[in-house]
Amino acid sequence: MKAAGILALIGCLVTVADSKIYTRCKLAKIFSRAGLDNYEGFSLGNWICMAYYESRYNTTAQKVLDDGSIDYGIFQINSYTWCRDSRLQKNHCHVACSALVTDDLTDAIICAKKIVKDTQGMNYWQAWKKNCEGRELSEWKKGCEVS
Protein backbone atom coordinates (compact mmCIF):
# COMPACT_ATOMS: atom_id res chain seq x y z
CA MET A 1 0.00 0.00 0.00
CA LYS A 2 2.81 2.42 0.92
CA ALA A 3 4.71 1.44 -2.22
CA ALA A 4 1.75 2.40 -4.41
CA GLY A 5 1.52 5.79 -2.69
CA ILE A 6 5.23 6.42 -3.11
CA LEU A 7 5.08 5.44 -6.79
CA ALA A 8 2.13 7.79 -7.32
CA LEU A 9 4.07 10.62 -5.67
CA ILE A 10 7.13 9.93 -7.82
CA GLY A 11 4.90 9.91 -10.91
CA CYS A 12 3.56 13.35 -10.00
CA LEU A 13 7.05 14.71 -9.49
CA VAL A 14 8.24 13.32 -12.82
CA THR A 15 5.25 14.89 -14.58
CA VAL A 16 6.00 18.26 -13.00
CA ALA A 17 9.67 17.97 -13.90
CA ASP A 18 8.78 17.30 -17.56
CA SER A 19 6.73 20.49 -17.78
CA LYS A 20 8.71 23.48 -18.98
CA ILE A 21 7.58 27.05 -18.95
CA TYR A 22 9.99 29.16 -20.95
CA THR A 23 10.84 32.77 -20.24
CA ARG A 24 9.99 35.38 -22.84
CA CYS A 25 13.64 36.01 -23.70
CA LYS A 26 14.58 32.34 -23.92
CA LEU A 27 11.72 31.83 -26.37
CA ALA A 28 12.74 34.92 -28.33
CA LYS A 29 16.19 33.39 -28.82
CA ILE A 30 14.80 29.97 -29.77
CA PHE A 31 12.26 31.49 -32.17
CA SER A 32 14.89 33.76 -33.71
CA ARG A 33 17.32 30.85 -34.28
CA ALA A 34 14.45 28.85 -35.82
CA GLY A 35 13.81 31.55 -38.41
CA LEU A 36 10.48 32.78 -37.09
CA ASP A 37 11.42 36.47 -37.16
CA ASN A 38 9.66 37.83 -40.26
CA TYR A 39 8.59 34.33 -41.32
CA GLU A 40 5.81 34.91 -43.85
CA GLY A 41 5.96 38.58 -42.87
CA PHE A 42 5.30 38.12 -39.14
CA SER A 43 7.79 39.73 -36.78
CA LEU A 44 9.32 37.93 -33.84
CA GLY A 45 7.05 39.95 -31.55
CA ASN A 46 4.01 38.31 -33.16
CA TRP A 47 5.30 34.85 -32.35
CA ILE A 48 6.26 35.66 -28.77
CA CYS A 49 2.96 37.44 -28.13
CA MET A 50 0.95 34.58 -29.65
CA ALA A 51 2.78 31.91 -27.64
CA TYR A 52 2.18 33.87 -24.44
CA TYR A 53 -1.55 34.22 -24.96
CA GLU A 54 -1.98 30.67 -26.27
CA SER A 55 -0.01 28.77 -23.60
CA ARG A 56 1.74 31.23 -21.26
CA TYR A 57 4.94 29.70 -22.72
CA ASN A 58 4.09 26.28 -21.26
CA THR A 59 5.36 23.42 -23.43
CA THR A 60 2.90 20.92 -21.94
CA ALA A 61 -0.25 23.05 -22.17
CA GLN A 62 -3.30 21.14 -23.40
CA LYS A 63 -6.88 22.26 -23.83
CA VAL A 64 -9.81 19.99 -24.69
CA LEU A 65 -12.26 21.76 -26.98
CA ASP A 66 -16.02 21.33 -27.27
CA ASP A 67 -15.66 19.19 -30.41
CA GLY A 68 -13.42 16.72 -28.54
CA SER A 69 -10.23 17.80 -30.27
CA ILE A 70 -7.26 18.96 -28.21
CA ASP A 71 -4.95 21.95 -28.57
CA TYR A 72 -1.35 21.01 -27.77
CA GLY A 73 1.80 22.73 -26.62
CA ILE A 74 3.29 26.15 -26.69
CA PHE A 75 1.35 27.14 -29.83
CA GLN A 76 -1.83 25.21 -28.92
CA ILE A 77 -1.89 23.29 -32.20
CA ASN A 78 -5.14 21.39 -32.74
CA SER A 79 -5.27 17.61 -32.98
CA TYR A 80 -8.10 17.44 -35.50
CA THR A 81 -6.22 19.02 -38.38
CA TRP A 82 -2.55 19.32 -37.58
CA CYS A 83 -1.27 16.38 -35.48
CA ARG A 84 -2.01 12.73 -34.72
CA ASP A 85 -3.30 11.51 -31.37
CA SER A 86 -5.30 8.34 -30.68
CA ARG A 87 -8.08 9.24 -33.14
CA LEU A 88 -8.04 9.51 -36.90
CA GLN A 89 -7.34 13.05 -38.01
CA LYS A 90 -5.92 14.90 -40.98
CA ASN A 91 -2.41 15.29 -39.44
CA HIS A 92 -1.23 17.92 -41.94
CA CYS A 93 2.01 18.42 -39.97
CA HIS A 94 2.81 14.68 -40.10
CA VAL A 95 3.63 14.64 -36.39
CA ALA A 96 2.32 12.95 -33.27
CA CYS A 97 0.53 15.39 -30.96
CA SER A 98 2.78 14.16 -28.16
CA ALA A 99 5.74 15.69 -30.02
CA LEU A 100 4.15 19.11 -29.56
CA VAL A 101 4.24 18.95 -25.75
CA THR A 102 7.96 18.49 -25.17
CA ASP A 103 10.72 20.92 -24.22
CA ASP A 104 12.22 20.44 -27.69
CA LEU A 105 10.22 22.93 -29.74
CA THR A 106 11.47 21.75 -33.14
CA ASP A 107 8.29 19.90 -34.18
CA ALA A 108 6.01 22.61 -32.78
CA ILE A 109 7.89 25.32 -34.70
CA ILE A 110 7.88 23.32 -37.94
CA CYS A 111 4.14 22.74 -37.57
CA ALA A 112 3.45 26.39 -36.69
CA LYS A 113 5.34 27.46 -39.81
CA LYS A 114 3.22 25.09 -41.89
CA ILE A 115 0.03 26.49 -40.36
CA VAL A 116 1.06 30.07 -41.16
CA LYS A 117 2.13 29.16 -44.69
CA ASP A 118 -0.89 26.95 -45.52
CA THR A 119 -3.65 29.01 -43.92
CA GLN A 120 -4.32 32.71 -43.57
CA GLY A 121 -1.13 33.65 -41.74
CA MET A 122 -1.48 33.86 -37.99
CA ASN A 123 -5.27 34.15 -38.14
CA TYR A 124 -5.39 30.47 -37.14
CA TRP A 125 -4.68 31.55 -33.55
CA GLN A 126 -7.64 33.34 -31.98
CA ALA A 127 -5.49 34.54 -29.07
CA TRP A 128 -3.16 36.22 -31.59
CA LYS A 129 -6.07 37.91 -33.34
CA LYS A 130 -7.48 39.16 -30.05
CA ASN A 131 -4.26 40.23 -28.30
CA CYS A 132 -1.50 40.75 -30.86
CA GLU A 133 -2.79 41.53 -34.36
CA GLY A 134 -2.26 45.11 -35.45
CA ARG A 135 -0.45 46.11 -32.27
CA GLU A 136 3.04 47.44 -31.66
CA LEU A 137 4.88 44.26 -30.64
CA SER A 138 8.52 45.32 -30.32
CA GLU A 139 8.17 45.23 -26.51
CA TRP A 140 7.87 41.44 -26.65
CA LYS A 141 11.54 41.06 -27.58
CA LYS A 142 12.88 44.09 -25.70
CA GLY A 143 15.88 43.27 -23.51
CA CYS A 144 16.25 39.79 -24.98
CA GLU A 145 19.45 40.31 -26.97
CA VAL A 146 17.87 39.37 -30.28
CA SER A 147 17.92 41.64 -33.31
Give whole-number Cα distances, 96 to 26, 33, 90, in Å: 25, 23, 11
Catalytic residue among 66, 71, 103, 107: 71
Q: Catalytic annotation on 54?
A: yes
Q: In b/e form, how buried is each residue of 40-54, taking b as 16+ CB within 10 angstroms?
A: eebbbbbbbbbbbbb
DSSP 99-143: GGGSS--HHHHHHHHHHHHHTTGGGG-HHHHHHTTTS--GGGGTT
Give the C-alpha separation, 32 to 104, whole Å: 15
Taking alpha carbons only, the member of 52, 55, 56, 85 closest to residue 68 is 85
Catalytic residue among 18, 37, 40, 54: 54
Taking alpha carbons only, the member of 85, 71, 84 closest to residue 125 is 71
Q: Catalytic annotation on 71?
A: yes
Residue 84 is classified by DSSP as B
Residues identified as active-site: 54, 71
